Amino acid sequence: MSSLSQKLASLFLIDSTGDFTENLRLLEQYQPAGLLLFAKDLAGLSEKAVKERLAIYRQARPGLLLAIDQEGGLVSRLSALYPNRSYPSQAELLKKGADFFLAENQKTALELKDLGINLNFAPVADLSLDPASFIYSRTLQAGAEETGPAIAAFIKLYRQLGVASCAKHFPGYGDAGDTHQAPAKDLRSLKEAQLDLLPFKAAIAAGVPTIMVAHLEVACYSPGPASLSPEIYRLLKEDLHYFGVAITDDLAMAAARESSCPELLALKAGADLLLGGKLENLPILEAAAESGELPKERIKDALVRVQTLQDDYSL
């Protein structure tokens, strides 16, 4: 791999293949920034075995971000490892009071850290008050005035414990549809959509190290998936003064893969870290960088942000 290709590879946070040997090969060969773990990486293994595997991954790629989706409730990957442990949703925790909310989230954060996982794709900062909405069960099921402070408290807790958190899914799903299987569009007015920014502003003020950008199309901001939109990254980085890592939602999802090379579009738009990006597209990124289509300053900015995240949260 060329020096340029190595730099570009370090802007990927790849999805686990589910196979330990293959994951290790990818980490050794490409040195991506991180690896996203799923339930399949934990199921049927002992806690000791999981710790050993993750330690081997970290040896293969110093500074590795080992990520997981551990929101609680419907999205709880740790349940595969700890089937007898209950992981209620964030809304359920919050209903029992702020102290209980923080105590339970502290338990989970410490479990992750003990295993060797240093990045949790939580909390969900989306606002939804419609029980029929796709995202509702994963949100705090509260208005902005209650959601914002809870999101900030979660992020501050994780920072104190040395585990990276991630506010998602910018600029807010509202009550739009699911982008896992097909594109989804939010047709609300700018005034309505801007309400969804309030929890993200609270997250930024609390020092959130990563923010995940949705594949949702928010028509009042720009056409096409937010994760591939320069206007959305300008909103996040310039208007909201965010200096952390902007990570795409998983690029393996249908709403992103409608583009021939979403990795290139996302980086050009302003993404810093490509979740679920295909490493086989590295030659396309390299060619774009060499031609100037992907500006050197854009690559440098992303590299600095990602390296800072790794330095701050490496285990």
Q: Where are the domains of the chain?
A: 3-313
Show the CA angle centred on residue 80, arms to residues 76 and 81, nearest 5°. 110
Residue 301 a catalytic site member: no
pLDDT at 182: 47
pTM of the model: 0.96
The CATH number of 3-313 is 3.20.20.300
Q: Are 140 and 128 in contact (CB under 8 A)?
A: no
From the candidates 41, 126, 186, 249, which is the catalytic residue? 249
pLDDT at 179: 46
Q: pLDDT averaged over consecutive 10-residue blocks of the chain (315 residues)?
A: 97 99 99 99 98 99 98 98 97 97 98 99 94 91 95 99 98 66 70 92 99 94 94 98 98 80 97 98 98 98 99 94
Residue 249 a catalytic site member: yes
pLDDT at 176: 58
Chain segment 281-312, per-residue pLDDT in tens: 999 999 999 999 999 999 999 999 999 999 99
Chain segment 33-51, per-residue pLDDT in tens: 999 999 999 999 999 999 9
Q: For the sheet containing 12-15, what is the strand order?
A: 119-120, 65-68, 34-37, 12-15, 274-275
pLDDT at 81: 98
pLDDT at 233: 99
Q: Label residue 147 exposed, middle or buried (CB < 10 Å: 0-12, 13-18, 19+).
A: buried
From the candidates 180, 215, 241, 311, which is the catalytic residue? 180
